[in-house]
Amino acid sequence: MTRKERYRIVLDYFRSQMPVVTTELEFGNAFQLLCATLLSAQCTDKRVNQVTPALFAAYPTAKEMAAAEPEDVLEFVRSVSYPNAKSRHLVEMARMIVADFGGEVPDAVSDLVKLPGVGRKTANVMQAVWFGRAAMAVDTHVYRVSHRMGLVGKADNTPLKVEQKLMSNIPADDVPRAHHWLLLHGRYVCKSVKPKCGECIFNGICPKILDDSKLS
């Protein structure tokens, strides 16, 4: 089976079964999505959704959070991973958005990655989810599933390389949804520990040992 054929099978399935899909994070505006995505790093969406209602009630926009101190924000996010660093990044991020971007979340990746705590993955989430652009955010789930399913090769050994390979094989119209397709498949089926191969619709085509020489 060629890699092109593998992509066709995977994408055809998701298009038919999950034509409408988006992030499981809860938010009310662009700034809140940015905050939630930052908080979700190495943390579950479920946990993030437990802390953000109170956080966003106190700081609904960048303007309110910019006036806070990291210690104030910390009280709302103590239960997420790395709360001290994330609370500091949230406040610094809000202050930069107010000072440099008029209080509005910038739409360019080059500007987004300037914000404290915002890397390429978070910037691409904003591009795809909020701005509706063809951007592929590669988190641990997308990275793992892409390798396990043979969508990328052994040489694609960084998130950027995986992003580039996926982008070169997935039609632009599908890219914003494809991030969620792969992420959700990794979160609920192709898990890091004890993947549910017996329940996986792709079990019959999933390479147990990836041989790049057979995938073109």
**Structure confidence at residue 32 (pLDDT):** 98
CATH for the 3-21+136-214 domain, from 1.10.1670.10, 1.20.1560.10, 3.40.50.1970, 2.40.50.180: 1.10.1670.10
What stretches in the chain show pLDDT beneath 70? 208-216
At residue 184's C-alpha, the angle toward residues 106 and 152, to 5°, is 85
**Structure confidence at residue 208 (pLDDT):** 59
Tell me the CATH number for domain 30-130.
1.10.340.30
Reference 116, options 44, 34, 60, 186; nearest CA is 34
**Structure confidence at residue 120 (pLDDT):** 94
Reference 146, options 73, 58, 206; nearest CA is 206
Residue range(s) in the chain whose domain bears CATH number 1.10.1670.10:
3-21+136-214
pLDDT digits (tens, 9 = 90+) for 32-63: 999 999 999 889 999 999 999 999 999 999 99
From CA 121, how far away is CA 131, in angstroms rounded? Answer: 14
- Mean pLDDT, the chain, rounded, equals 92
From CA 79, how far away is CA 49, in angstroms rounded? Answer: 11
Q: Please state the pTM of the whole predicted model.
A: 0.86
Residue range(s) in the chain whose domain bears CATH number 1.10.340.30:
30-130
**Structure confidence at residue 212 (pLDDT):** 42
Q: Which residues are annotated as catalytic?
A: 121, 139
